[in-house]
Every structure is written in C-alpha cells, then in structure tokens.
Structure 1
Amino acid sequence: MIAFIGLLIGILIGAIWKINIPEKFSPYMSVAILACLDSVFGAVRASLSKSFQADIFISGFFGNAALAAGLAYLGDKLGIPIHFAAVIVFGSRIFDNFAIIRRLLIEKAKSR
C-alpha cells in the first residue's frame, strides 16, 4: 500500500510541476524510471504475498535506480548502449511481476 501511495504522490508531483530534463539525460532517466517501476511492482507483489518489508523496498527503489543510471552512464562513456539491456531486463521483470500480481488477485477473488 505504501508503494501505491508513493506512486500516486509521484505522479501528482510530476503532473503539477513541469520539470524539463535535458535530452542528453533521457537514456539515464528512462532506465532509472523503469528500475523504480520494477521496485514498485515488486512491492505490490510482496504486499499481496504478505512478505512486504519497507526497508527492502526503499533500498531496492533507490539502489536499482542508481545502479541502472550508473550502468547507463558507464555504457555511454564506453560507447556501448547498455541502457537497452537494462530496458529489456527491467521490462521483463515488470511484466513478470504484473503476471504474478494478476494471478494473486484472481486467486483472492476466487477464494471469497
């Protein structure tokens, strides 16, 4: 629930304040946003599985974003588009978590 509230607050802040990010930072931001979304979907999954821990969520949220942006920066400096690999990995994890969330919600609805 905390993750969902944080996501809503973030969306509201983003909608209210028009923050322009320079185009040269877009690969880093896109990977960092995907990493954060991966953490949010993981938190929702853990919450539904009754194994959510706030400290693990917060460390994963910021750690994944920093690691993903750092790898994208390193790849940029080396001339290797590592951010594409991060997009694929985080995208697949998001879809995996979504599939598990969907199954858990359907199982909960059936058990009622």
Structure 2
Amino acid sequence: MWLPFLFLFIGIGLGLLTDISIPDIYTNYLSIAILAAMDTLFGGIRAHLENIFSQRIFISGFFFNISLAVVLTFIGEQLGVDLYLAAVFAFGLRLFRNISTIRRYIFKIPKKKNKLVNK
C-alpha cells in the first residue's frame, strides 16, 4: 500500500539532489508525456473507485497515451505547428474531469442529474 509512495518520495528526492537538466529541445516532449501519464494515473484511480479497474487497460492506456502525445508533438514540430496543444487540451480536460470524479467519490458528493424544466 505505501510502497508506491515510498518510491515516489525516493524519486523526488533523487531528482532534487542531482543536477540533471533536460535539454530545451525535449521540454515539449517531456511536458506532454508527463501530462499524458498523469491523465492515465488519475483515470486509473477513478476506475478503481468505480470498481471497474483493469490492469491491462491501465498499462496499455498508459503507454498508448504517452506514445500518441509524443507522436503528435513530433509531427507538429516537423510541420512547424504547435500540434501538441491539441494533446494538452484533450489530456488536460480529461485530467480535470477525472479529478472531479475522484473528489466526488472521496467526499461522497452525488452527481447532479440534468433535468429538463417544462415552462
């Protein structure tokens, strides 16, 4: 249970203690890959809370999302277009949606149903 958090803190500690810098040419790739990974992570947490988590879907989605985001970034750079912004928008939207769903499960906030009001 606590093992992932232990390795998270070890990774953060190693990152802060070492003098590793990412070259500017890779910053777009790294940022979009991190965003895609966070989207998949929070999607997995949400699926776990909804009792529909599948390890195969999580692992395949993790690598597929990161690969798609990096490929979009690469194609955009080759065309001279900021195509990675499409991935930023899509993953950002899904990330915030997953976080709001997780918050509802944690605080037991029911979703409001859309009701049509007849006038």
Distance in structure 1 (CA, Å) of the matches to 2:55 and 2:12: 23
Between stretches 10-19 and 85-94, larger displacement belongs to 10-19
Distance in structure 2 (CA, Å) of the matches to 1:48 and 1:81: 35
Structure ranking higher on relative contact order (CA contacts 8 Å, 6+ apart): 1
Unaligned segments of structure 1, at least 5 residues? none
User: 1:47 corresponds to which residue?
Assistant: 48
Aligned residues between the structures:
106
Distance in structure 1 (CA, Å) of the matches to 2:48 and 2:79: 39
User: 2:78 corresponds to which residue?
Assistant: 77
Which amino acid in structure 1 is aligned with residue 75 of structure 2? L
Q: TM-score, normalised by structure 2?
A: 0.78
What fraction of aligned residue pairs are identical, expressed as a percent?
A: 41
By percentage of residues, which structure has more helix? 1
Cα gap change, 1:53/1:12 in structure 2, threshold over 3 Å: closer, same or farther?
A: same
Distance in structure 2 (CA, Å) of the matches to 1:9 and 1:80: 37
Q: Which runs of 4 or more aligned residues in structure 1 lie more than 3 Å from their structure 2 counterparts after TM superposition?
A: none
Q: TM-score, normalised by structure 1?
A: 0.83
The Cα of 1:15 is off from its aligned counterpart by 3.3
Unaligned segments of structure 2, at least 5 residues? 110-119
Q: CA RMSD in A?
A: 2.3
Of residues 10, 13, 20, the one that matches 2:11 is 13
Q: Which has the larger radius of gyration?
A: 2
